[in-house]
Structure 1
Amino acid sequence: MKYIKTWDIPLRVFHWSLVALFATAIITVKIGGNALEWHVFSGLALLALLIFRILWGFAGGTYAKFSNFVRGPRAILGYVKGKGDKTIGHNPLGGWSVVAMLALLLAQVVTGLFANDDIFTEGPLYSLVDKDTSDYLTYLHTVNQYVLYGLIGLHVTAIIYYRLFKRENLVSAMITGRKQVPASIPDAHASQGGHVILGLVLLAASVGITWFISTHWAG
């Protein structure tokens, strides 16, 4: 076995920032009251991160690109049956779980833009819809959080399974950027691209898009 460069720096920063912001969103909404201001802020920050991740799915390093891990039914079936090749990045099943996670998170932050708590907290785009529509989107926002909890639970379970039964430390790989692979895999398969400067440019663009949506669009 040997270690090979897999996850680029922008992807790793995205991953752990997502974890921190999602935890902040959960904690602040449970506290309620004035903490809801931080809930709204964390939601907007999550939107910027998700926009960045979509862009990075096309411009990032080898294993950050959607084209690398979004696979068809045949690849998924082969992986489930244990007949697929050893994967370096996300496996075919894990790739679709990433897509599902991003889609659900995006749905969560978008519905949050129009949500209200019937007291004093409203999403940045609340004024663009009528009260009934806002209430419905608030309902979806509330229900979707439990779907997200379930998917996160599966994600954590998969990490534990890989650590205990396959001896793969996925957490360490997402911290260091290097994953343990068979020695037979050529070094040329290491992740290419994923430049930090490009990541910063795309992140700045994502923050700008979020700022425009939450201020000018609402106005």
Structure 2
Amino acid sequence: MSVSFEPSTRRAALGDELARPTRIWDLPTRLFHWALAAAVVGLLATGMSGIMEWHFRLGYTVLALLLFRLLWGFVGGRWSRFASFIYSPRWVLAYLRGRSHPDHLVGHSPLGALSVFAVLGMLVLQVCTGLFSDDEISASGPLTRFVSNAFVSLASQWHAVFGKWGVIALVSLHVLAVLYYVLVKRQRLVGPMISGDKLLTGLRVAESRDTTSTRFTALVLFVLCAVFAAWIASLRA
């Protein structure tokens, strides 16, 4: 006996396999991502060329952005929260063996999460050491007078040498990984970070909340972070 489906049933079955746009990255996360990328490039350029006044301004901008991302990692959209991409070693190994859970490929993958945390951690360390650095010529961080000369010397050495090249290495590795996934594995990574949506086939997941109220909350949080960064900057005077 052959089994036939009504047209509506066939369409429903087919629809389950069609790629559906799903909101993964909320607007605040997307704006943070691109603003941080531009600011980091500007930081490296101004630092290497000795344009220190702009280097400091961009440093305070990155400080505000990182503070915002720390807060947004707890109250942001579903896939922007740290809880959604903190993986145990078991899940990282499963991903490397090609047996990752489908949900772990929606937001940041296990390897992608490691890359994100490494870049953010390095940037936090770089910004913090910058606040205590002194080039002994014309530029000094706003917090140098609150610590010992030995601490300033240590922070300055890290910031100018190890931290700088660490940031360059991690950012370069991050970009190369994105290019590999886009060009070799044919995964859309850049588009969703612009539009916010991913096309998911045969997989239903909770979307990130991205409403007017959540965006307003993000704006308030960023303003508070910017005010704090501006206060830190005022200590340099």
Q: TM-score, normalised by structure 2?
A: 0.85
Question: What does residue 63 of structure 1 align with?
Answer: 79
Match of 1:162 among 141, 166, 181: 181
Question: What does residue 166 of structure 2 align with?
Answer: 147
| 1:46 is the counterpart of 2:62 | yes
CA deviations over 1:117-145 (Å, ceiling 9, x no partner):
11111111121123332121011112111
Name the aligned partner's letter for residue 104 of structure 1: M
CA contact (8 A) 1:52 1:203 kept: yes
Structure 1's unaligned 5+ residue stretches are none
- Equivalent residues, number: 214
CA distance in 2 between counterparts of 1:120 and 1:154 reads 33
CA distance in 1 between counterparts of 2:209 and 2:101 reads 20
| 1:215 is the counterpart of 2:234 | yes
Corresponding residue SS for 1:3: strand
Give runs of aligned pairs for residues 72-111 of structure 1, distance below 5 A: 72-86=88-102, 87-111=105-129
**Residue 7 of structure 1: CA displacement?**
0.5
| 1:24 is the counterpart of 2:60 | no
Structure 2's unaligned 5+ residue stretches are 1-18
**Larger Rg over CA atoms:** 2
Corresponding residue SS for 1:208: helix
Corresponding residue SS for 2:198: strand
Question: What does residue 27 of structure 2 align with?
Answer: 9
CA distance in 2 between counterparts of 1:16 and 1:201 reads 19
Report percent identity of matched pairs: 36
**Residue 192 of structure 1: CA displacement?**
2.4
Corresponding residue SS for 2:98: coil
**Residue 151 of structure 1: CA displacement?**
1.1
Question: What does residue 124 of structure 1 align with?
Answer: 142
Name the aligned partner's letter for residue 69 of structure 1: F
Question: What does residue 203 of structure 1 align with?
Answer: 222
CA contact (8 A) 2:129 2:159 kept: yes
CA distance in 1 between counterparts of 2:111 and 2:187 reads 16
| 1:181 is the counterpart of 2:197 | no
| 1:37 is the counterpart of 2:56 | no
CA contact (8 A) 2:65 2:222 kept: yes
CA RMSD of superposed structures (Å): 1.6
CA deviations over 1:95-134 (Å, ceiling 9, x no partner):
1221111111000000000111111111111211233321
CA distance in 2 between counterparts of 1:92 and 1:29 reads 32
Corresponding residue SS for 2:25: coil
